[in-house]
Chains A and B, each alone.
Chain A
Amino acid sequence: MDDAEAKVRLQASISGLAERVPLVSARALLSTGQRALLLSCLAVISVGFLLAPLTTLRVLVGVVSVLYITLVSYRFRLFLRSTREGTVVRVSEDEARGIPDGMLPSYTLLIPAYRESEVIANLLRNVARLEYPADRLQVLLLVEADDQQTIEAVVNAEPGPQFELVLIPPSEPRTKPKALNFGLSLATGQLIAVYDAEDIPEPLQLRRAAIALAKLGGTFGCLQSKLSYHNPTQNMITKWFAIEYAMWFSFFLPGLAAMRAPIPLGGTSNHFRRSSLRSMGAWDPFNVTEDADLGVRMAREGYAIGVLESTTLEEANSDFVNWVRQRSRWYKGYLQTFIVHSRSPRKFLRETGWRATAHFGLFVGGTPMLALLSPLFWLMTFLWFFGQPSFIESLFPGPLYYVGLFSLTLGNFLLLYLTLISSRLVQRTDLLVAAFLIPLYWLMMSMAAVKAAWQLVTQPAHWEKTFHGLDGTRPTTRPAPGSAA
């Protein structure tokens, strides 16, 4: 690949989507209409505060309470839906092994590795463990051309013939989706899978995915494998993280899939058809959760997404500061995705129908919103018990009081119960104590959400810079580019 070609590919990777479909690109954040809507909302609220502060506060509290209880019940609904049969796509082991190699499609694995020199050896071993004919497997290691350490590590590890080292010319934005786009332009496989460098996929995953995609037909654009962690007991944060992932991939995503809702993909172990991925412009390099955005865009294009019963193990983020950073990036990305896709609600509605639109709002918009609203309620509860009960009471007149009480008791009960059920589901009773302490984790989530929202408000222009700062300061033990969910 000469320089000129690399440049063309790079250019297409960076601005391909933004030029083709600027409506869904996160290169610019707020549209004019959205800005006007936001400002007029703020104006109405501030005028309300000037004219009738108590009434305005009551209305706000009412709206927020109803929103909160809706979001929490929606989560529980997803759980109930996901426990029915047939929400997860299963391919039995026998069937997976039973297909002759000659019938399998060609597969390309895209593995972006940015400052990952330590895990390269593991990566090669894990990929080698995958049961898939080598002549039909192309593994693209996507490495930044100026990342000497990783390049050396790859060269020293002497990878097999199916591995290809792809050097991405240094350019901005230095993000995972850009690397993936670049890799996709070189992929030859009929099917594409994305893995992070430290992932340990289940050996039969590719065969299962290939069979399932073939059976499910063209309406299915993507299969998301379940993700889990191999270090859940390292400390309290990883325990909570593991429970949360269990909830996410065993309940929420299967529930969403069963209801044909837009699914925010996890950033790894996605299996696509190359054709469909390309036709829809692949990843948005300007979105900090390009995976979630891609899921939503797939829904807009009419593709269904399934959850594949096959687990990939990841390493959980165990450091508090890093956890908050990572989480605030996810929340920011969700907010970004939500904003990008609500630029033209009517179009979204036309493309996906009202059900999927509601799911999209409740889940993609609701996830950071729930984390943002919770501390408000905790604060009010705290004040109610220990501070100024009369003021808090005056905020909840009549029926609103019951709504508030309902969301306080039922909301916390449901969320705590879901956590408990999740820890049971992953067969980890050693996580039970962590499950009961999960409110502390909610506190961490809220901190991250506040940080995300604050950055979204104060530094919309410096969006990419924030992203770089975050991406540059990855954990020293296990740096991983991009996001995981």
Chain B
Amino acid sequence: MTFTPTPTSRPAEVTSLDVLSVDSNQVGDTDRMPHLEEPQSGRSLKRRQRSERRQRRSEGKQRRSEKKRRLEAQKRADTQRRLEEQRRLDAQQRLEEKRRVQAQRQLETQRRNEEQQRIEAHRRLEEKQRLDTQRQLEERRRAEEQWRLQAQRQLETQRRLEEQQRIEAHRRLEEKQRLETQRQLEERRRHDEQKRAEEQRRLRAQYELATQRRLEEQQRIEAQRRLEEKQRLETQRRLDGRQSVPENRLQEEYRDVEQQRPGDVGLSVDRQLKFVDQPQVGIQERASRLSTPTVTGHHIGEGQVVGVLSFALYSSLAALMAFVYHIYPIDAVARMANGFYVLYSSDPHLAAIGFVWNPLQSIGDLVVLLFKDAWPQLATRDMAGALVSAASMTGAVHQLRSALRERGVDTGPRLVLTALFAISPMILFYAADGMSEALYLFTLIATTRYLLRWYQKRDLRSLVYAATALGLAYLARNEALGASVAACALVFLVSALQGSESLRMRLKGATGDTAVFAFPVTVAVVGWSLCSYIITGQLFPQSRANSIQIKVTGFNPGDIAARFVHELTALGALAPLLPIVLAFVLVQAVRRRDGWVLFPLAVLGGGLAFDLIGYLHGSLFDWLRFYILVIPLAVLVTGALLTTTRTKMPALQNGLATNAGRTWLAIGMSAAAFALVIPSFFTSSIAMVNKSIGAGETSEYLRPIFDSNKPIQQTEASYSWLSVQAIDSYLSGLHLKANTVIVDDSNTCVANLIVQSSNPKIFVIPNDRYFQRVAADPLTFGASYFLIPPESGLDATGQLAAEYPSMYDDGYLWTRLVRQFAGGGSCPPFRLFQVTGHQPGVGGY
């Protein structure tokens, strides 16, 4: 709807304006009207006349004005009437106009409607017509379509039939060809199988023949022997007779046959294919064992027995040391505590594992500590660490035995050597105390063993295993760096010098081998250093910690000569016969051009060299355990000496040829092994409890045990244990909340305390990410206690001592000494301070 102003409004406005203007005229007129009353005088007539005239005039004037006024009024009325008339007329006109327009509009609408109806009707008609037409067309088309489809379908069917026939024919042809091929193949396969079977039959016959011949021969020999024995006895009885058993040559022959049995390693697949029934055996799984004639069928049982025995021995020893003698070496507890913090501290996170030590032992402890709730002693008595050590040393024993077996050391000497290694005093102690030596031995002996396998077989897999073990060895102890350098050099040399290719190719292969071998340990070194750097800001925090320790403790190893003498003494105590054996083995190795012994020398010797150089340089303590690698080295070298399978000595070969000879040889070898290793038991036992040679854990913990004057309860270890117990029971009596006691766990008694505690979460330790903040402003963070050792020696280097150097002695205004605990064993007298206010300049001020 459009909006138009109504026609009446405008004239109305105009009217009112007119009215206004009229009024104003009127007002003006009245203003100009003359004054009518005039007074009369003496010259009356004239005056009267004048006045009459004047009166008349004024009357006339009045009349005129009246008339005029009347006229004006009339005129005004007229105007008004006219105006009204006009307005009325206007209104009427407008009304009419409106009515007209309406009418017109109605008319128009009507007309339009009619038009539309007309059109609609027309359209409808048209539509109907169109539809009719269309329907007709449609029907016609559909009929046509149907007809065409029918025709097409018929055609299609016909074509398909033809097609099918053709394909069928083709298929039949193919089928025939296929059958033909199959038949040919079948025939060929049958032929092949026949051939194979024949071959097998021939072999079996040969084998049986050999067996039979051997049996007959044996029977014959046996009979002859019995006869001879009888004769000998008889002769002896009568005279003094001498006789000799003829050598059994055939047995040797049989041994050869036995060695060539199919299924043995060394056969290529194609030979296998010839001998086996199942054609797919070619890629069937086969155990990759070295073909040493003496071990067939025995070693699985042997390995299991040795493994179970070692683990049982080590874990019971661990329990004995923990529960009876309270031997928890401080470094072992600290390592376990690091794993403990990751899981159970007030801020459990992986970086809490700390960077003072390489992490592998702590990681192992951590895994065992997952079961702490089931067995709390895993933490409180460090059984977690001890079990990891026991398992690792079992692994070390296994690897050593395997290395000897793969070298070809016979069962007797092999078992003797393995057993002597497993129960040698140093090994026993470190297999049960939770230190990282067991893991280190395990990984390094595994490295040696797999490198030897690589040397013998040249398979990449063994090299990869060795490399992985070496990488893990670095994660167990730093010293593996020495082993890595030496072993990498050896791998390069061996790879470059051996083989039949050109020097260029060999150098290429050597580079590749060395890269493969060095990669994991490189990743371990770089990765661990990077982690340390990111979290502590130092690339090698472990060596820094070590040098601080040496500086602080004021350790003085004497001059170079004294250090050298100390090293020789320690090595001599742990492996007294090594120089002699090694000399023999090296001569033998040069004569046979056999590089076997170089590998234990490089790996174990390399690790050892790292510590020897470190001590000579004055950056290591004089602890006996730094020389532990010499023990497996001595055993392996002795094993190398006692290997018989490759001997070229005619006497030995003759001896090997008979059963009795072999037995005697085995006994002799075992005895030799025993004799060559057993002296170390005495020397190392003495050294371990000697204060100057056996420095470190062994003399510290073992001396008191063997000191018959003191009961077990009075050893230093027991005293430490008791003092930690006292602190723990006092703190648990306070019923503290989490994060309330600030401690520095670089003191091992603190680490011990935390793992003993029934609620380890009350402590705030430097491994927590918020330690700095809390230590700087304890009250704000709800911490209320400091537990502080005297600031002397190593404890003066801790983070807390650096922050509050005079806390222990004097305290601060904002702290209050609550209690001093009595020290005991290796634990100093700790003091417990309560925080009573804010440190000036921090927090509340």
Contact A401 B350 (CB under 8 A): yes
A92 at the interface (CB under 8 A from B): yes
Contact A8 B167 (CB under 8 A): yes
Q: How many angstroms between the C-alpha atoms of A180 and B280 in the bound complex?
A: 28
Interface residue stretch chosen among A149-157, A273-281, A335-343, A441-449:
A273-281
State which of A84, A95, A215 has its C-beta within 8 Å of the C-beta of B279: A215
A423 at the interface (CB under 8 A from B): yes
The interface residues of chain B, by DSSP majority, are classed as helix
A141 at the interface (CB under 8 A from B): no
Of the four ranges (under 10, 10 to 19, 20 to 34, 35 or more), the interface on chain A belongs to 35 or more
Residue of A nearest to B193 (CB): A217
Query: Which residues of B lie under 8 Å from residue A430 when comparing CB positions?
Result: 508
**Residues 183-202 of B at the A interface (beta carbon under 8 Å):** 184-185, 188-189, 192
Contact A417 B459 (CB under 8 A): no
Residue of A nearest to B174 (CB): A278
> Shortest CB–CB separation between residue A168 and chain B, in angstroms?
17
Contact B163 A84 (CB under 8 A): no
A100 at the interface (CB under 8 A from B): no
Contact B460 A421 (CB under 8 A): yes
State which of A190, A258, A304 has its C-beta within 8 Å of the C-beta of B184: A190
State which of B174, B273, B505 has its C-beta within 8 Å of the C-beta of A216: B273
Given known pairs A190-B184, A275-B182, A429-B512, the reply for A417 and B519 (CB within 8 Å) is yes
B178 at the interface (CB under 8 A from A): yes
Query: Which residues of B lie under 8 Å from residue A188 when comparing CB positions?
Result: 177
Residue of B nearest to A84 (CB): B288
Contact B188 A220 (CB under 8 A): no
Residue of A nearest to B184 (CB): A190
Most buried by A among B272, B282, B520: B282
Contact A278 B188 (CB under 8 A): no
Contact B512 A216 (CB under 8 A): no
Given known pairs A85-B286, A95-B270, the reply for A8 and B166 (CB within 8 Å) is yes
Query: Which residues of A lie under 8 Å from residue B185 when comparing CB positions?
Result: 105, 190, 218, 273, 275
Query: Which residues of B lie under 8 Å from residue A92 when comparing CB positions?
Result: 268, 270
Q: How many angstroms between the C-alpha atoms of A417 and B470 in the bound complex?
A: 14
Query: Which residues of A lie under 8 Å from residue B273 when comparing CB positions?
Result: 215-216
> Shortest CB–CB separation between residue B437 and chain A, in angstroms?
26
Residue of B nearest to A424 (CB): B512
Query: Which residues of B lie under 8 Å from residue A95 when comparing CB positions?
Result: 270
Of the four ranges (under 10, 10 to 19, 20 to 34, 35 or more), the interface on chain B belongs to 35 or more
**Residues 152-170 of B at the A interface (beta carbon under 8 Å):** 163, 166-167, 170
Contact B178 A275 (CB under 8 A): yes
B794 at the interface (CB under 8 A from A): no
> Shortest CB–CB separation between residue B517 and chain A, in angstroms?
10
Query: Which residues of A lie under 8 Å from residue B279 when comparing CB positions?
Result: 215-217, 219-220
Q: How many angstroms between the C-alpha atoms of A190 and B180 in the bound complex?
A: 10
Residue of A nearest to B462 (CB): A83
B818 at the interface (CB under 8 A from A): no
State which of A80, A91, A105, A423 has its C-beta within 8 Å of the C-beta of B270: A91
Query: Which residues of B lie under 8 Å from residue A413 when comparing CB positions?
Result: 520, 523
A468 at the interface (CB under 8 A from B): no
Most buried by B among A84, A304, A306: A84
B47 at the interface (CB under 8 A from A): no
> Shortest CB–CB separation between residue A480 and chain B, in angstroms?
30
Contact A214 B189 (CB under 8 A): yes
State which of A8, A90, A218, A425 has its C-beta within 8 Å of the C-beta of B269: A90
Contact A429 B167 (CB under 8 A): no
Query: Which residues of B lie under 8 Å from residue A91 when comparing CB positions?
Result: 270
Q: How many angstroms between the C-alpha atoms of A90 and B268 in the bound complex?
A: 8
Q: How many angstroms between the C-alpha atoms of A91 and B274 in the bound complex?
A: 11
Query: Which residues of A lie under 8 Å from residue B174 when comparing CB positions?
Result: 278
> Shortest CB–CB separation between residue A282 and chain B, in angstroms?
12
B284 at the interface (CB under 8 A from A): yes
Q: How many angstroms between the C-alpha atoms of A417 and B265 in the bound complex?
A: 28
**Residues 333-385 of A at the B interface (beta carbon under 8 Å):** none
Contact B286 A432 (CB under 8 A): no
Contact A420 B515 (CB under 8 A): yes
Given known pairs A87-B283, A304-B280, the reply for A427 and B178 (CB within 8 Å) is no
State which of A86, A105, A219, A416 has its C-beta within 8 Å of the C-beta of B284: A86
Contact B170 A8 (CB under 8 A): yes
The proximity string for B residues 255-284 relative to A, scoring 1 for CB distances below 8 Å and 0 otherwise, is 000000000010011101100000110111
User: A-B contact count, CB below 8 Å?
Assistant: 121
Query: Which residues of B lie under 8 Å from residue A275 when comparing CB positions?
Result: 178, 181-182, 185
Q: How many angstroms between the C-alpha atoms of A220 and B185 in the bound complex?
A: 13
B511 at the interface (CB under 8 A from A): yes
> Shortest CB–CB separation between residue B163 and chain A, in angstroms?
7
The proximity string for B residues 514-554 relative to A, scoring 1 for CB distances below 8 Å and 0 otherwise, is 01100110010001000000000000000000000000000
Q: How many angstroms between the C-alpha atoms of A217 and B196 in the bound complex?
A: 12
Query: Which residues of A lie under 8 Å from residue B167 when comparing CB positions?
Result: 8, 12
A391 at the interface (CB under 8 A from B): no
State which of B166, B192, B505, B515 has its C-beta within 8 Å of the C-beta of A427: B505
Contact A258 B285 (CB under 8 A): yes
A296 at the interface (CB under 8 A from B): no
The proximity string for A residues 197-219 relative to B, scoring 1 for CB distances below 8 Å and 0 otherwise, is 00000000000000000111111
State which of A80, A257, A274, A429 has its C-beta within 8 Å of the C-beta of B283: A257
B509 at the interface (CB under 8 A from A): yes
B461 at the interface (CB under 8 A from A): yes
Contact A402 B350 (CB under 8 A): yes
Q: How many angstroms between the C-alpha atoms of A463 and B596 in the bound complex?
A: 60
Contact B269 A86 (CB under 8 A): yes
Residue of A nearest to B274 (CB): A215
A38 at the interface (CB under 8 A from B): no
Query: Which residues of A lie under 8 Å from residue B192 when comparing CB positions?
Result: 214-215
**Residues 680-701 of B at the A interface (beta carbon under 8 Å):** none
Query: Which residues of B lie under 8 Å from residue A473 when comparing CB positions?
Result: none
B406 at the interface (CB under 8 A from A): no
Most buried by A among B166, B279, B283, B461: B283
Query: Which residues of A lie under 8 Å from residue B382 when comparing CB positions?
Result: none
Q: How many angstroms between the C-alpha atoms of A322 and B527 in the bound complex?
A: 36
> Shortest CB–CB separation between residue A275 and chain B, in angstroms?
5
Contact B269 A427 (CB under 8 A): no
State which of B166, B182, B286, B461 has its C-beta within 8 Å of the C-beta of A86: B286
B513 at the interface (CB under 8 A from A): yes
The proximity string for A residues 406-418 relative to B, scoring 1 for CB distances below 8 Å and 0 otherwise, is 0001000100110
Q: How many angstroms between the C-alpha atoms of A304 and B835 in the bound complex?
A: 76
> Shortest CB–CB separation between residue A312 and chain B, in angstroms?
20
Query: Which residues of A lie under 8 Å from residue B391 when comparing CB positions?
Result: none
The proximity string for B residues 206-235 relative to A, scoring 1 for CB distances below 8 Å and 0 otherwise, is 000000000000000000000000000000
> Shortest CB–CB separation between residue A21 and chain B, in angstroms?
16
Contact B512 A423 (CB under 8 A): yes
Contact B513 A424 (CB under 8 A): yes
> Shortest CB–CB separation between residue A62 and chain B, in angstroms?
17
Given known pairs A83-B460, A214-B188, the reply for A409 and B515 (CB within 8 Å) is no
Contact A190 B163 (CB under 8 A): no
Query: Which residues of B lie under 8 Å from residue A4 when comparing CB positions?
Result: 166
A237 at the interface (CB under 8 A from B): no
Query: Which residues of A lie under 8 Å from residue B285 when comparing CB positions?
Result: 84, 258
The proximity string for A residues 240-281 relative to B, scoring 1 for CB distances below 8 Å and 0 otherwise, is 000000000000000001100000000000000111001100
List the 7 closest pairs (A to B, CB-CB), nearest first: A217-B279, A424-B512, A83-B461, A429-B511, A429-B508, A215-B273, A429-B512
15 A-B residue pairs with CB within 8 Å: A83-B459, A215-B270, A215-B273, A216-B280, A218-B185, A219-B279, A273-B185, A405-B350, A420-B516, A420-B519, A423-B512, A427-B505, A429-B508, A429-B509, A429-B515
Interface of A with B (CB < 8 Å)? Answer: 4, 8, 12, 80, 83-92, 95, 105, 188, 190, 214-220, 257-258, 273-275, 278-279, 304, 306, 401-402, 405, 409, 413, 416-417, 420-421, 423-425, 427-430, 432
Given contacts A214-B192, A258-B285, A275-B178, 13 further A-B contacts (CB under 8 A): A4-B166, A8-B170, A83-B461, A83-B464, A85-B265, A85-B286, A85-B288, A89-B283, A105-B184, A214-B188, A420-B519, A430-B508, A432-B511
